[in-house]
Amino acid sequence: MTYQEIWDKARSVMGPNCRVCPECNGKACKGEIPGVGGIGDGSSFTVCREYLSRVKVLMDLVYEPGEIDTSVELFGRKFGIPFFLAPIGGMNGNYNGYMTDAEFLKMCVDGMAEAGGFSFTPDAPYEELFRDSLPPIKEAGGLGVPTVKPWDTEKLLQRIRDIEAAGALAVACDIDSCGNRMLRMAGKPVLPMSPARMAGVVGSTKLPFIPKGVMTAEAAVKCADAGCYGIIVSSHGGRVLENSPAPCSMLPEIRAAVGDRIKIFVDGGVRSGMDVFRCLALGADAVLIGRPYVVAAHGAGKDGIVFYTKKILEELKDVMLMTGCKTLADIDMSKIRIE
């Protein structure tokens, strides 16, 4: 099985919504929601690839060679890889229904567990998506992070109880879903989350709580003050607000504002081990990848997910070798130049 074979197979089954472009950059699918594109003019998606390509890495081969360690500590556990599968839902609405959400979620959770990581899983206006995500996580020994919508407090807390029962690693919450067109179309819009409500949710569970869709240093500090374990710097794949900057471009100022108080995840347009390196250098502790994993799953199921993860990991190791980084702690702003 090669990358090309997996991507060719995916291309033969995924149309018309996802064209499986040679580079997944948001150009062909711009404005397509439902679908896989960025909202409106699509710029909040396309800017991710544009910005990442401006981050150049600095070669350094004058150092004592040794083992390259790509492990990251999260939730009191050690993972061999610092990148994970982002929550993606709507195999029917956003993609073409070639596979069901339940099938896709199982591939995600099992594939990432096998590859040494874990998968975030999504939530939606319809109940099945959230429900279908919990059994695979439970079967995988809890290796998953359900990402719930910021529903009213009663529904949100019920979701959290269900997530605790599944033994999941943590709870994420895509607070940026206020801009989610699918929720509005389903007549189930959600509201922003106040700092007081966030602190209440954090205090209601022993699980680490991770808001997703934090884009400013100010909001990141509020999340840290509310007791969040971490944040996901994300623009929801450019799907909730036109003219958002690339999330990774916000990392330096967010990191400067919160220091090591919280873990920082980031996503948006990450397509290679080089991109993972760039995000870590800009200030992330870990990275999420979304759309390419859906392609990998359509091309070769769970094995596609494992294959793609190994590919990204090998690329990351190559960049670390060439830049004098033996551990993730060595990857910082001194290793890059933004042009």
Ligand X SMILES: Cc1cc2nc3c(=O)[nH]c(=O)nc-3n(C[C@H](O)[C@H](O)[C@H](O)COP(=O)(O)O)c2cc1C
Quick check: 290 binds ligand X (CB under 6 A)? yes
Q: Are 45 and 244 in contact (CB under 8 A)?
A: no
**CA-to-CA distance for 48 and 213, rounded, in angstroms?**
15
- Judged by CB under 6 A, the residue of 43, 94, 249, 323 near ligand X is 94
- Binding part of the chain for ligand X, among 68-76, 121-129, 136-144, 187-195 by CB under 6 A, reads 121-129
Q: Whole-angstrom Cα distance, residue 132 to residue 122? A: 10
SS3 311: helix
Chain center to CA of 160: 20
Write out the two tokens for 167: 């033994």
Q: Nearest to residue 81, comparing CAs of 49, 103, 34, 114?
A: 114
Site for ligand X (CB under 6 A): which residue of 30, 106, 159, 212? 212
Between 90 and 324, whose beta carbon lies closer to ligand X?
90
Out of 42, 82, 90, 117, the only residue in the binding site for ligand X (CB under 6 A) is 90
122 counts as binding ligand X under rule CB under 6 A: yes
Per CB under 6 A, the list member of 237, 299, 301, 304 interacting with ligand X is 237
Residue placing its CB nearer to ligand X in the complex, 105 or 324 = 105
From the list 82, 125, 268, 304, which residue makes contact with ligand X (rule: CB under 6 A)? 268
What would the x/- binding string for ligand X be over residues 33 to 52, using CB under 6 A? ---x----------------
How far apart CA 208 and CA 190 sit, in angstroms, is: 22
Residue in 284, 304, 285 with CA at minimum distance from that of residue 294? 304
Residues in the site for ligand X, rule: CB under 6 A? Answer: 36, 86-90, 94, 122-124, 147, 174, 212, 234, 236-237, 239, 267-270, 289-291
